[in-house]
Amino acid sequence: MRWPSIRLYWRMALYIGAALIAFVVLSLAGVWYVAAGELENYTATRHGGLGREAARVLVAGGPEALRHWLDTEAPIPPDVTVYVLDAGSRDLRGQPLPALYANFVRRSVIAPPERSDDAFRPVRLAPQLRGPGGEVYTFLVLPNRIGVAGNAMTTLGLLAVAVLVIATVAGLIARSVGRPVGELQRVVRELASGQIDARVPTRIAARGDELGSLAADFNRMAGQLSDLLEGRARLMGELSHELRSPLARLQAALALAAHRGSIGAGEVTRIEAEIQRMDRTLGDLLRFSRLDAAAPLQQRLIRLDELLQALVRDEELEADSRGCRLELAAPGGQPVVGDPDVLRAAFENVLRNALRYAPADSVVAVELRFEPGWWQVTVADRGPGIPPALLERIFDPYVRVPDGSEGTGLGLAIARRALEAHGGTIAARPRDGGGLEVVMRLPAAQIA
């Protein structure tokens, strides 16, 4: 049979209440065990026959005989100390009184009692011994390990009990609250980083308290979010495929109409430009949806210098059409692991974006540089640059610089998704002397 779960705040109250009860019980037991035994010897010595025997020795042989008897024959328990004090608070055997007791003993033990009458006799805190010459001594018994502030062993025991109880309660709270909260935090971070299959373990979601309800609600939310993202990616992919077929037919019909002369050349050019733009937009949507769906990537060794050389050769025609040049600095070296098509698409989108904004007679520089454990690819242009507020946002989907240029707003977003899928990063920064630099980093392959 499974017991019903206790609500979290009642559980915390139960832990704290149990801790307080345990501390009180253990403390009382410790005080009774340590202090009671010592006080028992003290009481037995103070109220036993030791004082009477001391009085007989004093009367029979004087102070010297009493001193000798106390040092050699008196049955004094090891937990107490016996003082025989004269009127000046001096011990017969020369033992100094503890500093904590000295003033109290002088005022309340050795000093003569107040005057008494038939109805009242004041209590003496210690018996007195009368010597053969009439001198008066005070027979004082003090416990050795119990002082005004208590017993040192008892204090240490209470501290040990407190530490033990606090550690136990802290462990229970950490196990009951801290560990599930840490697990929830880990899963939230995984979901935020793009792992849409992240879920809180069943052992936490099945709890009957508030944390269990929170974990179950989070799993339901994560499941719904995963379904929405997968549905969106599937819809975008299917929509891109479905719209490309009508575009192909439209291009064929346009070519046929132009051949028959039923449409002017200017209109043909404009319509072809719009069709190409729509085709490019759909292609970007398709690529972005595939990356957004976290499709499995190929794992191959890639030489970035060779990939960039091929990319620059293919883009030289685009650069010539815009009146600018491409320069590549790509030394060979350690490869990376990844999908060559996905990485080429990332570099291509960044490079085409740089060519779009590069002015005539300028140079777009592509540099490959190795750092310990990383490859860095930098694409730099001399274009108008980007406002500082947009340096991070340009990598978000559908964000475009408000300069009137054409574009889908997905090129740099595709580049970021592709690089992050390979464990890399991408960032933009102003270029010294004007323009923009896009810096991409990829981890180098670990080859044994």
Domain ranges of the chain: 48-113+122-148, 208-295, 300-443
Q: In this model, does residue 294 exceed pLDDT 70?
A: no
Contact 138, 92 (CB under 8 A): no
- CB-based burial, 77-114: b 16+ in 10 Å, e otherwise: bebbbbbbbeeebebbeeeebeeeeeeebeeebbeeee
Percent of the chain with pLDDT over 70: 67
Task: Look at phi and psi of residue 362 and say left if phi exceeds 0, alpha if psi is from -120 to 50, else beta.
Answer: beta
| Assessment of whether the complete model's pTM goes beyond 0.95 | no
Flag the least confident range among 62-71, 127-136, 159-168, 276-285. 276-285
Query: Mean pLDDT highest for which of 127-136, 258-267, 425-434?
Result: 425-434
Helix (H) or strand (E) holding 336: strand 336-338
pLDDT, tens digit (0-9, with 9 covering 90-100), for 95-143: 887 776 677 777 767 766 655 555 665 666 677 888 887 788 888 877 7
Q: In this model, does residue 445 exceed pLDDT 50?
A: yes
Q: In this model, does residue 309 exceed pLDDT 50?
A: yes
- Considering the candidates 47, 241, 259, 422, report the single residue annotated as catalytic: 241
DSSP designation for 388: G
422 catalytic, yes or no? no
Contact 39, 146 (CB under 8 A): yes
Q: Which CATH class is domain 300-443?
A: alpha beta
Percent of the chain with pLDDT over 90: 15
| Top-confidence residue, 339 or 122 | 339
What's the maximum distance between 2 C-alpha atoms anywhere in the chain?
153
CA angle 77, 78, 80 (to 5 degrees): 75
- CB-based burial, 411-435: b 16+ in 10 Å, e otherwise: bbbbbbbbbbbbebebebeebeeeb
Flag the least confident range among 157-166, 190-199, 273-282, 286-295. 286-295
Interval 76-86 mean pLDDT: 79
CA distance 331 to 185: 43
CATH fold group of domain 48-113+122-148: Beta-Lactamase (3.30.450)
pLDDT, tens digit (0-9, with 9 covering 90-100), for 364-388: 999 999 988 899 999 999 998 888 8
Q: How many CB atoms lie within 10 A of CB 385?
A: 19
CA distance 137 to 126: 10
Residue whose token pair is 């777009």: 364
CATH fold group of domain 208-295: Helix Hairpins (1.10.287)
